């Protein structure tokens, strides 16, 4: 969830105890040689981890 840190820090309040799944899809587009870049690899692995945490 994109706002989970703000909720945990008290900057946002959850008004209702319901969740609505998003029907959005994201695509990561990159050049083939980007996989050789350590910074890209770190970002890509983090992105997959975040997705897996969200999907449960």
pLDDT tens by residue, 18-48: 877 777 777 889 999 998 999 999 999 999 8
**Six token digits for residue 8:** 């945990």
Give whole-number Cα distances, 45 to 13, 20, 42, in Å: 30, 26, 5
Tell me the pLDDT tens digit for each residue of 1-17: 677 888 888 888 778 88
Nearest to 19 by CA among 32, 40, 4: 4
Q: 3-class SS at 33? A: helix
The CA distance from 52 to 14, in Å, is: 23
The CA distance from 42 to 32, in Å, is: 16
pTM of the predicted model over 0.75? no
């Amino acid at each position: 969830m994109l706002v989970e840190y703000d909720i945990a820090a008290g900057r946002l309040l959850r008004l209702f105890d319901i969740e609505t799944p998003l029907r959005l899809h994201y695509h990561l587009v990159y050049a083939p040689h980007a996989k050789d870049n350590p910074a890209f690899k770190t970002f890509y692995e983090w992105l997959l981890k975040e997705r897996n945490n969200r999907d449960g």
